[in-house]
Amino acid sequence: MKISIYILLLLVSAVVAIGWSWKRLLDFNTYKKPFLEGVALQFLFLLFASVWWLITEDTTDGVIGVFYYFLAFLTIMVVHGFTLHYLFSKKKMQEREE
């Protein structure tokens, strides 16, 4: 059951970060500020998840779980950046056509 929650927290953090940044992308002329906001939101989310994992698991499994959260954070951040860059370039192309 705990591993399901662990994976669910990873997925929710990715969806929340990318969703937030996508929503905020409409308010800015650059994708950097929404990207940083999304990364900060994801960092906080995964930080709380890491603390939860350390509390509920023994030392070895806890540290390994936090390491996997860190790797997931980096991976999601890269996917997040590419997604925002694509959406921003698509938005700019639409503005030029109008």
Span 50-61, pLDDT tens digits: 999 999 988 898
Structure-model confidence comparison of residues 14 and 27, the more confident one: 14
Ramachandran angles phi, psi of 27, nearest 5°: -95, -10
pLDDT above 90: residue 69: yes
Task: Give the pLDDT mean for 34-47.
Answer: 93
Task: Give the pLDDT mean for 54-82.
Answer: 93
* In the chain, % of residues over pLDDT 70: 99
What distance in Å separates the CA atoms of residue 52 and residue 35, rounded to the nearest whole number? 26
pTM as predicted:
0.85
Task: Give the pLDDT mean for 60-71.
Answer: 93
* Residue 94 pLDDT class (50, 70, 90 cuts): confident
What DSSP designation does 26 have? T
